[in-house]
Structure 1
Amino acid sequence: MDLELTGRTALITGGDSGIGWHTAKLLVEEGARVAITDVDQAALDAAAAGLPGEVLAVAADLTDPADVARLHREVTAALGDPEILVHAAGVTGAQGLFHEVDEDGWRTTMEVDFFAAVRVVRVFVDGMRRRGRGRIVLLASEDAVQPYVDELPYCAAKAAVLSLVKGLSKTYGGEGVLVNAVSPAFIATPMTDAMMEKRSTELGVSVQEAVGGFLDEERPFMELKRRGEPEEVAAVIAFLVSERASFVNGSNYRVDSGSVATI
């Protein structure tokens, strides 16, 4: 299927690894001109070198409004106004039961997992509006609609992302800027690698056993009984930013092996 992405310009946050990197790879293969961003320039350069084409790599701290403004200047100077924005940057954030997480834990998690999305959309959406065309995909999570008691800050942040997506879709859809969410569950990324390595140490088992135990005990509705692969999420994102999704707006696509138990 031709996604009609040749010559389109895209910015992908969290592009140095995981879902962001695989999305960048797929968009480059489809002919898009791509910029990636994350906090570490060396890691970004290494990530860009592994992609099948020329990719702009600009490090930025998305919790700093001034740095987000600089990111906007550098990306637009090099590529023009991006027509596609994929916000994949995020962290697990503060973990523990509600009474164990302090206010700083909440604030830090919300800064990275919610307010960063607000900042990035804010600086790039006007260029899309001027074009009369844009595609924005924000990464949410199964946790947004199925919260887990030991990571409520992350769950709340991702629920806020879903609300933001719906509101943005209503605000800008009529101007040709379509906004959607993708909600993965337990994908094989550096973030979940770290979670499973921690679990393996705490339980005194192998990482593979930690993954199996986590699936059985914490994610019983993931019917495929495995972690998802980042390229499986990237494929859905690529569809949503393409011309093939020209009537999709304000939606949340779950890539979760059935993990969310409701319809």
Structure 2
Amino acid sequence: MKIDLTSKTALVTGSTQGIGFAIARGLANAGASVVLNGLTKDEVDHAIERLQSELPTAEISGVVANVATAEGVAALKAAVPAVDILINNAGIYGQQDFFETPDDVWLRMYEINVMGGVRTARAYLQGMAERGWGRVVFISSESALNVPVDMLHYATTKTANLTVSRGLAKRMAGTGVTVNAVLPGPTLSDGLQALLKEEQEKSGLSMEETAAAFVVAHRPTSLIRRAASMEEVANLVIYLSSPQASATTGAALRVDGGVVDTVA
């Protein structure tokens, strides 16, 4: 299967590093014109430079905008009036006991992880429908289904991503626009590497080995017994962004290494 996204414009929110950057790289490698997004000019400029150095012929641009605010999404829409592919990747996470998690932490996570995707979808989906083609992917998490007790606020937002994506898929029925959610499991992202850095240095193991030990200890239902790479997550997103995925919509697709113990 050869995925060709030539002539398509793709916007990936929160894409200056981590899974978002890997997705942007994959989309650009498939020929899409890619718009990176981040919170600061330095972050965006650095990400553009990095991606352009890897893919010299790719068409890459960037927009500084905070999708957690209505003003930020308005600025994003003004800079990029229309896109064919929207990847709602921007998000935050954190471990905190339920009884020690105040309202402001819940609300901030909801604004970024849920409303960011709601606002960008509202900004771009109608244009996709008018043109008769579009792809939208929400980056959720296996935590949406396999709720971690120390991350209830995070898991709640990721379950909300599934509701929004399924509902939008139904709303866009028959328009040529598909909407799906991807649920990564433990992934060797920049965030996980930072979390495990001290442990890795103490153990003398490689980061991949340290992450595998972390998965075995904290996600014992994993069937691959390791963390996924960011590219493995991105691969599924690139497929869902392609013409080949035209019959897949309203789906919640896991790339979790089998962590969620279910047959569906």
- Which one-letter code corresponds to 2:7 in the other structure? G
Structure 2 alignment gaps of length 5 or more:
none
Structure 1 alignment gaps of length 5 or more:
none
2:30 is the alignment partner of 1:34: no
2:120 is matched with: 120
2:233 is matched with: 233
- C-alpha contact (below 8 Å) 1:9/1:84 kept by paired residues: yes
- C-alpha contact (below 8 Å) 2:216/2:226 kept by paired residues: no
- Which one-letter code corresponds to 2:177 in the other structure? V
Q: String of CA shifts for 1:45-98, please: whole Å, max 9, x gaps.
A: 11111221231111111111112111111012xxxx1110011111114x2221
1:92 is matched with: 93
1:73 is matched with: 78
1:137 aligns to what SS in structure 2? strand
Rounded Cα–Cα distance in structure 2 between residues aligned with 1:121 and 1:195: 31
Q: CA RMSD in A?
A: 1.9
Q: Percent identity?
A: 35
Residue 197 of structure 1, CA deviation:
3.9
- C-alpha contact (below 8 Å) 1:14/1:20 kept by paired residues: yes
Rounded Cα–Cα distance in structure 1 between residues aligned with 2:168 and 2:122: 10
1:85 aligns to what SS in structure 2? strand
- C-alpha contact (below 8 Å) 1:91/1:191 kept by paired residues: no
1:83 is matched with: 84
TM-score (norm 1): 0.91
Rounded Cα–Cα distance in structure 2 between residues aligned with 1:132 and 1:40: 34
Per mean C-alpha deviation after superposition, the further-off stretch among 236-245 and 124-133 is 124-133
For residue 64 of structure 1, the aligned residue among 69, 91, 111 is 69
- Which one-letter code corresponds to 2:14 in the other structure? G
1:162-177 to structure 2, matched below 5 A, reads 162-177=162-177
- Which one-letter code corresponds to 1:144 in the other structure? A
Rounded Cα–Cα distance in structure 2 between residues aligned with 1:108 and 1:6: 37
Residue 205 of structure 1, CA deviation:
5.7
2:140 is matched with: 140
1:58 aligns to what SS in structure 2? strand
Aligned residues: 256
Rounded Cα–Cα distance in structure 2 between residues aligned with 1:29 and 1:217: 35
- C-alpha contact (below 8 Å) 2:188/2:211 kept by paired residues: no
Residue 206 of structure 1, CA deviation:
6.3
2:13 is matched with: 13
Rounded Cα–Cα distance in structure 1 between residues aligned with 2:33 and 2:59: 8
- C-alpha contact (below 8 Å) 1:173/1:179 kept by paired residues: no
- Which one-letter code corresponds to 1:33 in the other structure? S
- Which one-letter code corresponds to 1:83 in the other structure? D
TM-score (norm 2): 0.91
1:175 aligns to what SS in structure 2? coil
- C-alpha contact (below 8 Å) 1:89/1:113 kept by paired residues: yes
Per the alignment, do residues 152 and 210 of structure 1 end up closer, same or farther by CA in structure 2, a change over 3 Å counting? farther
Residue 217 of structure 1, CA deviation:
2.3
- Which one-letter code corresponds to 2:11 in the other structure? L
Residue 222 of structure 1, CA deviation:
1.4
2:196 is matched with: 196
Per the alignment, do residues 173 and 196 of structure 1 end up closer, same or farther by CA in structure 2, a change over 3 Å counting? farther
2:60 is the alignment partner of 1:55: yes
2:92 aligns to what SS in structure 1? coil
